[in-house]
């Protein structure tokens, strides 16, 4: 257990559906991340939230919409997805620090395996 949980673990949805992925971290961290891991590309950073403010949005299509209501919870809202969006979606958290020598280690959840039909 890494202290980061994700639900659901598996999700199958049609292209017209709307669904949400949930992530919760129990580590007291101040930054949370969404990554996409597919068979075709290396792990890709999608969104970063630091202190509940979005700080990174790496050209992700608008059919993916993140939400960070507090420092412990992160959502990824999905709508009108495409089959190529099928992938493992990983959530991570870290404690961001400007102290010299501090670790920026990210703790990952187990992921949600998404299949878009």
Partner 1 sequence: GESVGLHLPTLSVQEGDNSIINCAYSNSASDYFIWYKQESGKGPQFIIDIRSNMDKRQGQRVTVLLNKTVKHLSLQIAATQPGDSAVYFCAENEYYGQNFVFGPGTRLSVLP
CB of 53 to partner 1, least distance (A): 12
Give whichever of 30 and 65 is closer to partner 1, judged by the CB atom.
30
90 binds partner 1 (CB under 8 A): yes
CB 48, CB 55: distance < 8 Å: yes
Pick from 34, 87, 109, 116: which binds partner 1 (CB under 8 A)?
109
Beta 107-108 vs 44-50: how paired, if at all? unpaired
Q: What residues between 49 and 88 interact with partner 1 by CB under 8 A? A: 50, 55-56, 58
What are the residues whose beta carbons fall under 8 Å from the beta carbon of 115, sequence distance 6 or more? 10, 11, 12, 13, 86
CB of 81 to partner 1, least distance (A): 17
Instruction: Report the distance separating Cα 114 and Cα 116, nearest Å.
Output: 7
Residues that bind partner 1 (CB under 8 A): 2, 4, 31, 33, 38-45, 48, 50, 55-56, 58, 90, 92, 94, 96, 98, 101, 103-111
């Amino acid at each position: 257990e890494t202290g980061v949980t994700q639900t659901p673990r598996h999700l199958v949805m049609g292209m017209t559906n709307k669904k949400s992925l949930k992530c919760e971290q129990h580590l007291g961290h101040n930054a949370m991340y969404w990554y996409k891991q597919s068979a075709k590309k290396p792990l890709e950073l999608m969104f970063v939230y630091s202190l509940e403010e979005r700080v990174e949005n790496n050209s992700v299509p608008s059919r993916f919409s993140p939400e960070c209501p507090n420092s412990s919870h992160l959502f990824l809202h999905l709508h009108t997805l495409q089959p190529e969006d099928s992938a493992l979606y990983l959530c991570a958290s870290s404690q961001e620090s400007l102290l010299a020598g501090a670790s920026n280690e990210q703790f990952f959840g187990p992921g949600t395996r998404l299949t878009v039909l």
